[in-house]
Amino acid sequence: MDIGRRIALKTLAGAALAVPATGARASARDIESRIARLNGCDIHYRVMGSGPSVVLLHGWPQTSFAWREVMRRLADRYRLIAPDLRGTGLSEKTASGYDKRSIAEDIRQLIDREADGSAHLVGHDMGGKAAFVLALLSPHSVSKLVLVDCLVPGTENMDVSRGGAWHYGFHMAPDIPELLTKGREREYIAAQIKAWSHKKDAVTDKAIAEYASHYAKPGGMTAGFNYYRALKADAALVASLSDRRLAMPVMTIGGRHGAGDKLADAVAPRCDHHVGLVIEDSGHFVAEEAESAFCDSLTRFLAA
């Protein structure tokens, strides 16, 4: 059954190291910082709250820091788990493994470790691509799937002459993006975030500085660009899985000034149970630009 409902709203090896954000011992209202060896990579992740597990996957050029306000708002109802994706934030910057099959396996192992094998999964941007792939490859790991202003691998418009986004080709080029952004990581990240935002100040200068501090580290920008360099392989993978459907409940959330209806149009035909949401007064960074609408919609969907 495809509900297809559109709603418009205004608006280290093998061991986990728990480090409470405040005090000697963390409560459900504290954000804990942990590191675990997953799929051959040291993955850093934040944990907060109690209740059903919800895994939150950020996109580029962000880190798990992007989810901090969402985590605080939902911690009374859910156990939130927000990893720094491979190569970002405090996670290990590996030489390879940025294709979404590998990222999905990182997250599958995280879900096994922290959520007894199954969790609600929320993914934005590149995190949304990985979440979509994980739901196709390992549906038993995903109780409910929420995709936030992302494009399914293979549906991206990379042709600038046909209205596509220029940054795809730039980020996919070998070496050149690193050369041109070296020493100007903060300026480049700020420019990208502002360009994709409808509310230009929703992603704060503090957040931009936090993201840039990690991407400016050796290998940081390369890791980020490698997510784009893997897009052709990602598209081929999703095409090879065209016969698979998503049996779990799925919600797609687009910003009207971001992906809009495109995400739902691509995902709904593959879903047995789909709810499509477009938030009118938002661009790409929905969780920041329309925080209340996003959290309210997410909570209603997960509770249904």
Q: What is the CATH number of the domain that holds 181?
A: 3.40.50.1820
Structural domain count, the chain? 1
CA distances from 154 to 136, 157, 173 (A): 15, 9, 18
pLDDT digits (tens, 9 = 90+) for 158-195: 888 888 899 999 999 999 999 999 999 999 999 999 99
pLDDT digits (tens, 9 = 90+) for 44-58: 999 999 999 999 999
The model carries a pTM of: 0.91
Measured between alpha carbons, how far is 93 from 232 in angstroms, rounded to an integer? 21
pLDDT digits (tens, 9 = 90+) for 217-228: 999 999 999 999
Domain holding 53, by residue range, is 5-303
Phi/psi for 277 (5° steps) reads -130, 130
